[in-house]
Structure 1
Amino acid sequence: MTHAMTQWVLFFIATLVANSAHSQPWQLQHLPWGDPDFQGIWTTATVTTLERPDELSELVLTPEQALAVEQGMEDLQEAIDNIADGDLEAGGDVGGYNSFWMDPGTRALRVRGEPRSSIIVYPQEGEIPYTLKSQLRFYWNAYKMLSRENNPEERPEGERCTVGFGSTGGPPMLPVLYNNNYQFMQSPGHVGILVEMNHNVRNIRLGGEPLPPQIKPWLGDSLGHWDGDTLVVETTQFHPQQFMRLAIKHQLMMATDTRVIERFTRISENEIVYEFTVSDPELYTEDWRGELTLRRSAGPIYEYACHEGNYALPNILDGARQKEQED
């Protein structure tokens, strides 16, 4: 066989192997002890918010609506970076981060390919169904948290670097303005989820008993089990200071006894469908549900160094003392 013929045969064989590999349907891999393999780094970044905007009435977006939502985020990013020429007025608003520091995502949420107007799928209105009493309580607590400047423990947990802003650590695990990555690690009897923002870790025990009621971890007490190839996690006993979860893209209120049931289903090499149900008859008129997609993300996750060089919290308190003297 000539050299040219040998090369042609090898090329033909390589083409057949490659085509065969591409034609094979994706199959979920299992770890040596039998559990489905969810390991890796995933992201929830999306421009879609928890609750549905007033201008959108349906859960499923048309292609044109999805493009408009995505364009809206792009326009906002440009506006943030459009700083006026000249010096800023003394004592005025100096603004916040420019878009270099933000990673909110660029696309509307898609679940199994379907573009969504909100993470909430039920109730149909796409809003958290607070009771009237709990809604008034929410506004009062939000006002107190954002207006009191006498004690660091009165400020939001994100400012204090105990947990991430809003409900990024969860559950439910919701996207925020940046650092929306999660690393899944598994061992027999456990699933660990490293939350990028403030490097909290959810330790999900597969089976077993709940923690004693007086123990209330920051991210709650999570017990899991496998329903076929779906990871089901039930969480309650949240830390009382996780009561108000405030972020730009979502604001919600949850109590220590609120119950969250999550379902993680890996549907492809690069996607996990994440479903959750939140229950608390003291806060909500009915259970509410949401859906997200965790997408494969390039790693690694670097340390979220919240405290190092972060002068925001002492400056908030110092500024309040200065204002008190001036008044």
Structure 2
Amino acid sequence: MKKFTFCSFILFTGLLFTEEAEKTWFGDPNLQGTWSNQSLTSLERPDEIENLIISDQDAARYAFYYQQFLEAADGEFEVGEQIEAADDPGGYNTEWMDPGTQLLKIEDNFRSSVITYPEDGKLPRKLWRWAINGPQTVYKMFVRADHPEERSLGERCIVGFGSSGGPPMLNVLYNNNYQIIQSPGYVVILVEMNHDARIIKIDGQHNPENMKPWLGDSIGYWEGETLVVKTKNMHPQQEFRAGIRHQIFISQDALIEERFTRTSSDEILYQFIVNDDKFYNDVWKGEMLLRKTDGKIYEYACHEGNYAMENILAGARAEEKQ
């Protein structure tokens, strides 16, 4: 009888601990911790795949081919191997790439795209708008080299590549980690890529329209166990977000809604809706998983040893002399 009572006590206190662990000390649902959204699944669905959900066999095949692609792209040489001709050295070898090892998996189903709507898994682009803005933006950010201010934000170490900082927060080739910290009235998301921080005011008001911070102006509220975040007033220089895994436009007038729901001790379901009439014919929606990680986020010291910017500008001046 005593043994049964003791075991029952342990079970009961364990349940209490679990319930307490799901809440912060001030009573909000607990999203705190370090999380990763790394995945081989890209924002848009590949042309050769029709459905959002794919079989385990197809997912394994895709992961295998992706790993082969990374190995083929590696610029390392074997010891003693002769280098016959100079070539573009690229950024760095695949030792530094960390996109993940499998496709996105939600509710035990592998996903072929982050986008869930439109149903074809493609961005509902306004093609004429992209045709006008796209080439101009790419030329300005990746070809012109008159001043450092003309280069991309990632090269300038201001925000992360693509839309890693969000919103929406999308996976890239590496540094797909986020730390969530909560305090009364605020949720902060520390983004590993370029060490950005999103400060979300709970039950707060948006700033004046003329204030357009990096990563936008975010406010949030709790809808049951789900944190709902609404962001507007995007920084004008963040309109084009380019990474290897995705290329998107987000205008200053876009409205983005994100939903964070903790579905287990080690997973958060992350959902988003982008409403941007300037660049898209319809809203587009997506889902990802944030998985708990035991690692810590260290300072992203982007400018330490960043010789690329100096070399880009110096190289452009050398070309002008020729």
TM-score by length of 1: 0.90
Q: Percent identity?
A: 48
Say if 1:40 and 1:184, in contact at 8 Å, map to a contact too: yes
Say if 2:258 and 2:272, in contact at 8 Å, map to a contact too: yes
TM alignment of 1:1-327, pairs within 5 A: 29-81=22-74, 83=76, 85-87=81-83, 89-90=85-86, 92-140=87-135, 141-326=137-322
Give the whole-Å Cα distance in 2 for the aligned partners of 1:323 and 1:18.
74
Residue deviations 1:228-253 (CA, integer Å, cap 9, x gap)? 01000000111110011000001101
- When the two chains are superposed, the root-mean-square deviation of aligned CA atoms in Å is 2.4
Give the whole-Å Cα distance in 2 for the aligned partners of 1:94 and 1:34.
52
Give the whole-Å Cα distance in 1 for the aligned partners of 2:200 and 2:106.
24
Whichever of the two has the greater Rg, that structure is 1
Say if 2:218 and 2:231, in contact at 8 Å, map to a contact too: yes
1:96 Cα deviation from its structure 2 partner: 2.7
1:138 Cα deviation from its structure 2 partner: 4.0
Tell me the number of residue pairs that the alignment of Structure 1 and Structure 2 aligns.
Answer: 316
1:304 Cα deviation from its structure 2 partner: 0.6
Unaligned runs of 5+ in 1: 1-8
Residues 203 and 88 (structure 1), Cα distance of their counterparts in 2 relative to 1, 3 Å cut: farther
1:300 Cα deviation from its structure 2 partner: 1.3
Residues 21 and 271 (structure 1), Cα distance of their counterparts in 2 relative to 1, 3 Å cut: farther
Say if 1:88 and 1:94, in contact at 8 Å, map to a contact too: no
1:144 Cα deviation from its structure 2 partner: 2.9
Residues 247 and 62 (structure 1), Cα distance of their counterparts in 2 relative to 1, 3 Å cut: same
Unaligned runs of 5+ in 2: none
Letter in 1 for 2:211: I
Runs of 4+, deviation exceeding 4 Å: 12-24
Say if 1:159 and 1:313, in contact at 8 Å, map to a contact too: yes
TM-score by length of 2: 0.91
